[in-house]
A and B are shown apart, each in its own frame.
Chain A
Amino acid sequence: MNLEQPPSMEGFLSFFIYVVPFLIFVLSFVTFAILAERKVMGTMQLRSGPNRTGGRFGLLQTVADVFKLLLKEDTIPKDADRTLFKWSPILAFVPAFMVLAVIPFTKHFQFADIGIGLLYYVAISSLSVIGIVTGGWASNNKYSLIGGMRAAAQMISYEIPLVLSIVGVIFLAGSLNLNTIVGAQQSVWFILYQPVGFIIFYIASVAELNRVPFDLPEAESELVAGYLVEYSGFRFAIFMLAEYVYMFAMAAMTTVLFLGGWHPIPYFEMIPGAIWFAIKFSLIFFSLMWIRFTFPRIRGDQLMTFAWKGLIPISIINIFLTAIIYEILS
């Protein structure tokens, strides 16, 4: 699979054959990620979580939930903007799945090795907020409109520290290509060179994913369900799916940028790269869940102050320090 070839029908078909199983893999990952999230949440809150459907561990709980959502009546509010109401789940899902194309999972398993992989990721993922805003607007409901507005304000504010925090990584790797970035971490992972960058990236990614403590767009105690209020049935399912696929992409990206991708820790080279990637990825994913269950939601003004007066100045200072130290040492 290389992109150096001119676009052709065979190229399209071969990509199609690879992508469809991957889509199914991601969907089944999302199914079990939701189950895992509920089980972990249950354990942390001293209860057992889903334990009826599909055996002792509730293995089929999410499958049953998805079937329930698919069989539900598809309601569209009378005064809603019908066209956009139908389109916005798609607008939210497509970018979330598109960004997976450039992520290098192992040395050989990557769909598109393009020169600007990192920029592509940031650019495409910034499109996903459009689906949320249109969904909130098209529902014609106060709560969903406020949710959509909040989502726009939050995702634009936190995109800036997200991008600024990876500038240090780009410095060190000297490239925007994700394969080169992983290759540069052969001996030392960038989390050791860029600890501040990692922390900022991590916080900003939690905010971009609209998860607790930054889940103001869907804060259930204030806005019922935020931009999702009017959505039910499979449109709601697609929104949730987009959220979890985006979370998958974010965790994979954190692994690639800061945790050395598929590279093993020294003396453990016999374990294949795919498993290393999975281990690091699961660590990030678990910590994302952990944060969700342990932090309270922050207030709207605190959210904005935190981004503009906290994360952005720190990440700019981080860029300067990285550049100066890099110049002195090289």
Chain B
Amino acid sequence: MNGEVIFFVLFSLGAIIGAVFVLVFRKAVYALLSAVLTFVSMSGLYILLTAEFVAGVQLLIYSGAITILMLFAIMLTKQKTGTTRKRMIRFQWPVIIPIVLLMIIIFYGIHKVTPPRKPVSYGKNNTEQIGELIFTQYMIPFEMISVLLLAALIGAIILAKKENT
């Protein structure tokens, strides 16, 4: 067993355990911290795939988002513990159907992907390659996403402004 396998197991376990604990923890701050565990493990997995740029961006964006979410969690939830036990929903058997369906779809999707014949050399100039692809081949989708984000930003400002007046 080489180190890569050990790290893969560690990171994927971290991602899964973090995701499960987001659902299990009853305190919002705890749930968010386990989401941090998931995100950090995900970026570890990206590094194992030599997608270092994606890993860095993942950490940068999600850690900021997590801090903001944590502020909301602190402001919107009471610090008193042990009162939310009643609210826990019992496991409902019909839920099994969508879960299995989703699993089949994801499994089918992964199964359909055929890896490229010759290995692509990502490795060293990862950032450069991503930049080149975004600004040549995927130019229009990239611009569309930026317009979409801008629209969302303006919408958020308008909604917040309305509340004030």
Which A residues form the contact surface with B (CB < 8 A)? 6-9, 11-12, 81, 84, 114-116, 119-120, 122-124, 126-127, 129-130, 133-134, 137, 140, 145, 149, 152-153, 155-156, 159, 163, 175-176
Bound Cα distance A124, B40 (Å): 10
A119 touches B74 (CB 8 A): no
B60 touches A145 (CB 8 A): no
B74 touches A126 (CB 8 A): no
Stretch at the interface among B15-23, B62-70, B133-141: B62-70
Q: Can you list, as one digit per residue, whether each of B52-77 has a CB less than 8 Å from chain A (1) or not (0)?
A: 11011101100110111011001000
Bound Cα distance A159, B79 (Å): 29
- Size of B's binding interface in residues, CB under 8 A: 32
A115 touches B29 (CB 8 A): no
B60 touches A116 (CB 8 A): no
A149 touches B71 (CB 8 A): yes
10 pairs, CB–CB < 8 Å, chain A vs chain B:
A7-B4, A7-B6, A7-B7, A12-B3, A115-B52, A116-B53, A116-B127, A123-B59, A130-B63, A155-B67
**Residues of chain A within 8 A of B55, CB atoms compared:** 116
Bound Cα distance A127, B62 (Å): 10
Q: Can you list, as one digit per residue, whether each of B26-68 has a CB less than 8 Å from chain A (1) or not (0)?
A: 0101100100100010010000000011011101100110111
A-B contact count (CB 8 A): 90
Judged by a CB distance under 8 angstroms, whether B146 is at the interface is: no
**Residues of chain B within 8 A of A159, CB atoms compared:** 64
**Residues of chain B within 8 A of A116, CB atoms compared:** 52-53, 55-56, 126-127
**Which residues of chain B (61-118) have a CB below 8 Å from chain A?**
63-64, 66-68, 70-71, 74, 79
Bound Cα distance A159, B64 (Å): 9
**Residues of chain A within 8 A of B67, CB atoms compared:** 129-130, 133, 152, 155-156
Closest to A83 in B: B30
Bound Cα distance A149, B43 (Å): 27
Given A126-B60, A134-B29, A137-B29: 16 more A-B contacts, CB < 8 Å: A7-B4, A84-B30, A84-B33, A116-B52, A116-B56, A119-B56, A119-B57, A123-B57, A123-B63, A127-B40, A129-B63, A134-B70, A152-B67, A153-B71, A163-B60, A176-B53
Among A8, A120, A155, point to the contact of B2 (Cβ < 8 A).
A8
A133 touches B3 (CB 8 A): no
Judged by a CB distance under 8 angstroms, whether B121 is at the interface is: no
**Residues of chain B within 8 A of A176, CB atoms compared:** 53, 127
Bound Cα distance A119, B4 (Å): 23
Given the known inter-chain contacts A119-B56, A176-B127, please indicate yes or no for A9 contacting B3, CB distance below 8 A.
Answer: yes
Shortest CB-to-CB span from B54 to chain A, Å, is: 10
**Residues of chain B within 8 A of A9, CB atoms compared:** 3
Bound Cα distance A152, B29 (Å): 14
Could you say which of B6, B43, B59 has the most chain A C-beta atoms within 10 Å of its C-beta? B59
**Residues of chain B within 8 A of A115, CB atoms compared:** 52-53, 124-127
Could you say which of A12, A114, A156 has the most chain B C-beta atoms within 10 Å of its C-beta? A156
Bound Cα distance A140, B80 (Å): 10
**Residues of chain B within 8 A of A152, CB atoms compared:** 67-68, 70-71
